[in-house]
Amino acid sequence: MKKIDGGVCAATGFKASGVYAVIKNNPSGKFDLALLMSDLPADTAAVFTTNQVKAAPVLVSIENLQKTGGKSSAVILNSKNANACVSDGYTNAKLECDFVSEHTGVNPDEVLVCSTGVIGQSLAIDKIKAAIPELVKKLSADGNSDAATAIMTTDTVKKEYAVEFEIDGKVCKIGGMAKGSGMIAPNMATTINVITTDVKIAPDLLRTALSDVTEKTYNCLYIDGDMSTNDTVIIMANGLAKNPLIHKINDNFEKFKNALFHVMKNLTIMLAKDGEGASKLLTANVKNAPSFEVGRAVAKTVIGSDLLKCAMFGEDANWGRILCAIGYAPADIEIAPIEVSLVSKRGEILVCKNGEGLEFSEENASEILSEDEIEININLNQGSEAATAWGCDLTYDYVKINGDYRS
């Protein structure tokens, strides 16, 4: 397996595009509308927000996948407006499918819809309608970057990742794009992620792989504890790599799942690193946990502590807050055997052993914490399972960005 260029267009038979549809005035002219197309209807699995307030595009995408039995040909995506909690939300999301259908010929039920942005304002559907011809015209196998740009909201960088690997001599590819970067919470920690692959795989195994990998990637991401109304992860598999169909859990399935993990893990890290206002990527690695679930609960609780996030921003080795957060993790654990160390490329420092603090050089700790990627290594010493969670520090800029998001 190797990393390759490109995002959602890396796999054979996918095209994408992005335009500035003026969904909201933006002097920079940043793209705000994207389209993704597969040359063939693709088997599609998806995971959606568990928020009881689901945005209209989520409801329409769920409905369409039910109607088609899990096939899709296109995804239309916009930023600047979540199309959530508005009376014309459903109608507008359906209209988006119709517009795409009219200009591409695909069945409107094979169009999925993703929106992200402000909640509670009507979508500028006329602007979207007007932009569709150009959006379709621009579709190309190099359009991944335009599409990834169009879904950015408060993101400071676009997020794409792709890999290539072989199955029985056939070159296969998986690529994806994602957007963050606030309102990112423990359950389905993301807003919008679209993954494409040319691998030929049975629909039930595609779902299994997506669900397994989501548990260890997006569901291990924690920015601010808020769960969006629009969270969506979609994977489309069009089979154009022409590998022998993966129809059972075997080596080929594991190869596929491993490649998918690689793509989704890297997107997760990009999301964490670009969390709203973030200045540091934080990674909590828990080892020797009694189970993966306990390990993940500990890792996510630590990474989600506002107090720890502030301490990391301040480059203060306040390990007491780490132990405190471990103590209120929703898991039954023994405190006495726990060891904690802080790591960056400048070194590692053990700050806690046997559940208690150690003397350590504050100078050395400050130097380690001055880096912009910090690992918090937690050895629970009560089992053999491991888990990792990703997050970021809590900074002045997070407050600034979110104090005035709508303007």
By CB under 8 A, residue 318 contacts a copy of itself = yes
Token pair listed for 349: 């420092």
Q: How far apart, in whole angstroms, are the C-alpha atoms of residue 314 and residue 289?
A: 29
232 is catalytic: no
Measured from the CB atom, the residue of 4 and 62 that comes closer to a copy of itself is: 62
The piece of 7-15, 100-108, 135-143, 330-338 that touches a copy of itself (CB under 8 A) is 330-338
Q: Report in angstroms how near the CB of residue 76 gets to a copy of itself at its nearest.
A: 22
Segment 240 to 279, residues that bind a copy of itself, using CB under 8 A: none
Residues ≥6 apart with Cβ < 8 Å to 352: 319, 322, 323, 338, 339, 340, 341, 358
Phi, psi angle pair for 137, to nearest 5°: -60, -35
Phi, psi angle pair for 229, to nearest 5°: -80, -5
Q: Report in angstroms how near the CB of residue 87 gets to a copy of itself at its nearest.
A: 5
Measured from the CB atom, the residue of 139 and 352 that comes closer to a copy of itself is: 352
Segment 47 to 66, residues that bind a copy of itself, using CB under 8 A: 50-54
Q: Report in angstroms how near the CB of residue 393 gets to a copy of itself at its nearest.
A: 9
By CB under 8 A, residue 399 contacts a copy of itself = yes
User: Residues 107-132, buried b or exposed e (16+ Cβ, 10 A)?
Assistant: bbbbbbbbbbbebebebbbebbbebb
Q: Report in angstroms how near the CB of residue 30 gets to a copy of itself at its nearest.
A: 21
Segment 150 to 209, residues that bind a copy of itself, using CB under 8 A: 182-183, 185, 187
By CB under 8 A, residue 85 contacts a copy of itself = yes
By CB under 8 A, residue 357 contacts a copy of itself = yes
Which position among 73, 104, 229, 266 is part of the footprint of a copy of itself (CB under 8 A)? 229
Options 44, 154, 190, 395, the catalytic residue: 190
The piece of 29-37, 66-74, 145-153, 388-396 that touches a copy of itself (CB under 8 A) is 388-396
Binding mask 92-131 for a copy of itself (x = CB under 8 A): --------------------------xxxx----------
By CB under 8 A, residue 222 contacts a copy of itself = no
Q: How far apart, in whole angstroms, are the C-alpha atoms of residue 247 and residue 230?
A: 31
Strand order in the sheet with 281-289: 221-222, 385-392, 281-289, 373-379, 339-344, 347-353, 356-357
By CB under 8 A, residue 355 contacts a copy of itself = yes
By CB under 8 A, residue 227 contacts a copy of itself = yes
User: Residues 323-362, buried b or exposed e (16+ Cβ, 10 A)?
Assistant: bebbeebebebeeeebbbbbbbeeeebebbeebeeeebee
**98-25-129 Cα angle (round to 5):** 15
**What sign results for the dihedral spanned by CA atoms 313, 216, 264, 55?**
negative
Instruction: For residue 332, list its beta bridge partners.
Output: none
By CB under 8 A, residue 324 contacts a copy of itself = yes
If you search the block for the tokens 């306040």, which residue do you land on?
318
Q: Which residues are designated catalytic?
A: 190
The binding site for a copy of itself (CB under 8 A) comprises: 50-54, 82, 84-87, 118-121, 182-183, 185, 187, 224-229, 304-307, 310-311, 313-314, 316, 318-321, 323-329, 332-333, 335, 352, 354-357, 394-396, 398-407
